[in-house]
Amino acid sequence: MSTPTATHTSRTVDLTDSLTLTIDEFGTNTDGSAVLLLHGGAGPRTVAGLASALSEHAYVIAPTHPGFDGTPRPEGTDSVADLAIAYLDLLDTLDLTGVMVIGNSVGGWIAAEMALRDTRGRIGCLTLLNAVGIHGEDGNEVVDTRGLAPAGISGLSFANPAFRPDFSSFTDQQRAVMAANQQTLATYAGPEFTHDPKLRGRLHRVTVPVLVVWGEQDGISPLEYGRGYAASFPDGHFVQVPGAGHFPHIEQAGLTLGAIGDFVDTVVKPSETA
């Protein structure tokens, strides 16, 4: 990874006549490579800290999925596959190669779909953080959270209660944004909500190395589900993170960054550290 100066800017990028992406950029594009960081259903704020930390080593792009946090979502952009194509178009527009795509939760699902569709070789590797998207085996399924209150989802998501949001302190506007984000997530995820039944069977076609990092106390996506995800890739690598739930990059930021760094040094670019 390159070592740009850590800066943070926001802008919009027009991809088509109807689709505009809002992106946050951390660091500087010095060599045409990047980290594309994809948030989960809890919104872009959940990856801001990780983006800032990674920008000490790389140029980081953190988009807001269209429809989240009040951004526009065209009617025709309504599936995870649509988001995967949009973000590949973004990499084309920015002319980036050797990109590490990092995705948390549904962001990991999007990352996997991107790798299956990357016909122009933009992606160099994937990192999935407690991702969803595949059908579980042996009872290791992702919890369908659509019927749960925010506090219930939070309780399943964080191992340490100190990290759980205090929803009683939220303003009416914050509650409205959170509810709208969940409606947008449901639109993208489709009727199965947590997975595409056919995705697991397609992942053998992903040729880039994949790191699967898993908070081992996740009440949403169980640990064995994560192991199964990693095993579905030809070059999959699994690291479990103690003391973390669905957001290991928040609860155990140091361990998560260490796992990503080791993956780069030993798998993605071993010749550069030999």
**What is the SS3 assignment for 21?**
strand
Cβ-contact 99, 91 below 8 angstroms:
yes
pLDDT in tens, 200-254: 999 999 999 999 999 999 999 999 999 999 999 999 999 999 999 999 999 999 9
Q: Of 194, 211, 196, whose CA–CA distance to 259 is shortest?
A: 211
Proportion of the chain above pLDDT 70, given as a percent: 97
pLDDT tens profile 87-104: 999 999 999 999 999 999
pLDDT at 21: 98
Residue recorded with tokens 């019927």: 147
Residue 146 has pLDDT above 60, yes or no: yes
Q: What is the CA radius of gyration of the chain?
A: 17
Helix H or strand E segment including 190:
none
Confidence (pTM): 0.96
Which residue is it, tokens 């025709």?
76
Identify the H or E element spanning 239.
strand 236-241
**Mean pLDDT for the stretch of residues 155-166:** 97
Which helix (H) or strand (E) segment is 206 a member of? Answer: none
Q: Mean of the pLDDT values across residues 40-47?
A: 97
Pairing of strands 210-215, 20-26: unpaired
4 pLDDT exceeds 60?
A: no
| Whole-number Å distance between alpha carbons of 172 and 155 | 21
Domains and CATH numbers, the chain: 8-272 (3.40.50.1820)
1-30 mean pLDDT: 85
pLDDT at 31: 94
User: Helical H runs in the chain?
Assistant: 48-54, 80-94, 106-117, 150-157, 172-189, 199-202, 223-231, 248-251, 253-263
